[in-house]
Copies of this chain bind each other. A is one copy, B any other.
Amino acid sequence: MRQSQLFTKTRREAPSDEVSKNAQLLIRAGYIHKEMAGVYSYLPLGLKVLNKIENIIRKEMDKIGREILMPSLSLQDPWKQTGRLDTVDVLMRTVGANELSLAKSDVSYVLNYSHEEIVTPIAQDHRQSYKDFPFALYQIQTKFRNEARAKSGILRGREFRMKDLYSFHCDEEDLLAYYEKAKESYRAVFDGVGIGKDTFITLASGGDFTTGFSHEFQTVCEAGEDTIYLDRANNIAYNKEVVTEENAKKLSVDFDSMEQVKACEVGNIFPLNIKFSKAFNYTYKNEKGEDQLVYMGCYGIGPSRVMGIIVEKLSDDKGLVWPKSVAPFAAHIVSLGDSEEVKKEAEELYSTLVAQGVAVLWDDTDRRAGEKFADSDLLGLPLRVVVSEKTLAAGAYECVERASGTTTQKTQSELTDYLAHA
């Protein structure tokens, strides 16, 4: 795309009402627009990143589940049935504009912040024989949480994108086998979006297992809300909340020798066991014709949160830095000066790359080099390709990798070859 055709414009100053790095940079670069604390619009560049993250997640989820789309609105009944209507403090409720009080319960609905209450009855409606198990359903959808203080940009929103997967099993053993498979899918997702090597399965409190631990995926990140103890040798981490002498003994680990780092939770997996099947009396007939409660697991990744974590983790003081797999464009052609020859060369390179199917942004605006470079750094595309009188004379483009800053000279064929393998 020609940058002159891009809807958005960058801005020099971060909005004064944003304290988080991710919101500041994404707004400055024109990726998102703030509607209110914790609620953002995704503008063309931002939506491209979000879609890429969601499609990487979708690809892995399709291997272990079936995609569906559940609604945001729900009756109160299923939330009463599980007892969560009164216990989930972030649950939002909704009514018609003319019905001013939620106390009139017959007109008020719940805005789902999670979908166990919705997916369990759906599963129950279609699968009730042991022959029907196991199976898993997932969705990628907008969710709502009434966050008291939403100050973390798209890291923790009042409205946010969520991938939630639910698995259904005849017994705990089958659930645990699937649970391990889901872990591997999650690893593939985090590798896919470019934060795999700094993301660790982390033992946290609150699990239903006999060990008493739950599992979450934590990504090393300065802006993180959690502190984790890293056991790099064993590729595992421990949430600070479980770092006790007792647990050190129980797990035979030495917390003192581990590195302490700030981290962001980027995904969680949870064996629900029979908690929700019991609430909805979701049973299946076993081989003897007996009714047995279904075992369930749930597995979440927030695509918008992942996007925010990537920004917090990889950006630098010049701007955004996107991994190749989620960047809105693979390359940023920056043509300098107003020589007709340079313009012609840039246009030709742009057309060639587009014809080859490379997603490329071309800064075709009439601005000074300094302004263009600052903009390019802020936008954070993986490779900047400079076309100028100097590069014309050299017979090769100046190519700068955004992440490493590495500069190389590449002829057109070297460049297209590089981008084809990027």
Contact = CB atoms under 8 A, between A and B. Distances in A.
A91 to B, nearest CB: 4
Contact of A68 (B47, B88, B92): B47
A307 to B, nearest CB: 12
B85 A89 contact: no
A89 B98 contact: yes
Given A71-B39, A72-B159, A122-B43, A7 B97 contact: no
A44 to B, nearest CB: 5
A142 B72 CA distance: 9
A97 B101 contact: no
Interface string A56-83: 0000000000111111111100000000
Interface SS majority for chain A = mixed
B118 A9 contact: no
A95 B94 CA distance: 6
Interface residues of A, number: 58
A96 interface: yes
Given A44-B68, A71-B159, A103 B100 contact: yes
Interface in A88-142: 88-103, 109-111, 118, 122, 125-127, 135, 137, 142
A93 B92 contact: no
Given A36-B73, A97-B88, A42 B68 contact: yes
A324 interface: no
Contacts of A88: 97
A44 B66 contact: yes
Contacts of A8: 126
Contact of A41 (B71, B95, B159): B71
A8 B68 CA distance: 11
A75 B126 CA distance: 40
Nearest to A98: B89
Given A35-B70, A92-B95, A93-B95, 16 more contacts: A35-B75, A36-B74, A36-B109, A42-B68, A43-B126, A44-B67, A44-B68, A47-B67, A71-B142, A88-B97, A90-B96, A92-B94, A94-B144, A99-B102, A100-B103, A111-B111
Interface of A: 7-9, 30, 33, 35-36, 39-44, 47, 50, 66-75, 85-86, 88-103, 109-111, 118, 122, 125-127, 135, 137, 142, 144, 146, 158-159
21 contacts: A33-B122, A36-B73, A39-B73, A41-B118, A42-B69, A43-B68, A44-B66, A71-B159, A72-B159, A73-B159, A86-B97, A89-B96, A89-B97, A91-B96, A92-B95, A94-B111, A95-B102, A100-B101, A100-B102, A101-B102, A111-B111
